[in-house]
Structures are given as C-alpha cells and as structure tokens.
Amino acid sequence: MAGSSPAKGKISVMRRWLFVLPVVVFALMAGAFYVGLGRDTNVLPSALINEEAPKFNLPPLPGRKDGFSNADLQGHVSLVNAFASWCGPCRMEHPVLNELARTKQVPIYGINYKDTGDAALSWIAALGDPYTRIGADDGKVGIEWGVYGVPETYVIDKTGHIRYKHVGPLSPDDIKNKILPLVAKLEK
C-alpha cells in the first residue's frame, strides 16, 4: 500500500487496478443517479393497492344530512379525496376537482381530514363543492387508509378495492393522463 517501496519501473497489476477502482465506482454511481433522475420520488405506492378499502362510517359535516361510508363506494368506480380547510395545496387542486365533478364522469367523495366542521363548511362554500358526499374524520379513518398528508386522492373500483393512490395536489395533467384512463378501465 502507499508508503512502501518507491516505484521501481513496473507497477504491479494489482496496484494499478486499485487506482482505477475509484473512477469505476463513480461511473456506476453516476449511472444510478441518471436513472434515478427519471423516477418520481413522490410516487409512494400505498400498501393498500388492490386491497379492499377499510371499513368506515364517517359522520356528516355540521348541518348536513349525509355522511360517508363504505356502502357508498359499492357498485361504481369512485374517487376519494382527503382534504382540509387548513391545507394550502388542497386549495390549489380544488378547481381541478370542481371541473372534474362538472363533467360527471366519476363521483368524488370527500374525507374532511382533521378539520373543524365550520371551517370546512365555509371553505366549501367559498371554493365550490365537487363532492357527492363528505365525511368528517378526526384522523382515525385516515390512518386506516394510509393517509399521511393532504391532499391525497384514491381511485376505488366497483367492488370497493383501492386501485390507485395519488399523493399531493392533482393537476389537470394528472386527471387527464392518470385518473381518467384508470377510471375508464375500471368501468369496463
């Protein structure tokens, strides 16, 4: 190793390969970086994909009649959107949900996550209500679903199984390229 006899002309093969090692290791690492750039780190697959949605029965928001439960998800493809009035990105995605609800292609159900009823009601009143039903959740149902932040949107098939989870706000591109094709596929 270093510090041994001065180079006497021929450097041993082993020693030469030791010098090449760093650049080889680096090349592999850079390759991994390059491939890694193409990946979307925000796509965190839910452990519940293809599992049945957890059983739940959420109360309605104050002043409303209907809550939201498992039964509502049976028989048709649905979107379940976790949102809250205190959440900034939810505000950003809300017009997208409103637009989607207007086209009546798939019902959107809301889980009002860790919120106060009055705040949620005023938020909906101000920004629009795309939800077929809304359930008020203090967090316990969210945990069952694997919600760890808002907004999150789930696509549920006709038999009540979770097929897709989108973390973060939905953009019109997400709706067009990810959500609607999946919904169309599940409708068949």
Residues contributing to the site for other proteins (CB under 8 A): 1-7, 11, 15-16, 19-20, 22-23, 26-27, 29-30, 32-39, 41-42, 44-45, 88
In the complex with other proteins, the residue whose CB is nearer, 88 or 139, is: 88
Q: Is 13 left (phi over 0), alpha (psi -120 to 50) or beta?
A: alpha
* Shortest Å distance, C-beta 27 to other proteins: 7
DSSP the chain: -TTSSPP-SPPPHHHHHHHHHHHHHHHHHHHHHHHHHHS-TT----TTTTSBPPP-EEPPPTT-S--EEGGGGTTS-EEEEEE-TT-HHHHHHHHHHHHHHHTTSS-EEEEEES--HHHHHHHHHHH---EEEEEEE-SHHHHHHT--SS-EEEEE-TTSBEEEEEES---HHHIIIIIHHHHHHHH-
CB of 38 to other proteins, least distance (A): 7
Q: Which is nearer to other proteins, 36 or 63 (CB)?
A: 36
**In whole angstroms, how close is the CB of 139 to other proteins at the nearest point?**
15
Residue closer to other proteins by CB (options 39, 104) is: 39
Task: For the CB of residue 32, give the shortest distance to other proteins in the complex, in Å.
Answer: 5
Complex with other proteins: residue 2 or 125, whichever CB lies closer: 2
CB of 147 to other proteins, least distance (A): 17
- The whole-angstrom separation of Cα 91 and Cα 88 is 5
Query: Toward other proteins, which CB reaches closer, 40 or 103?
Result: 40
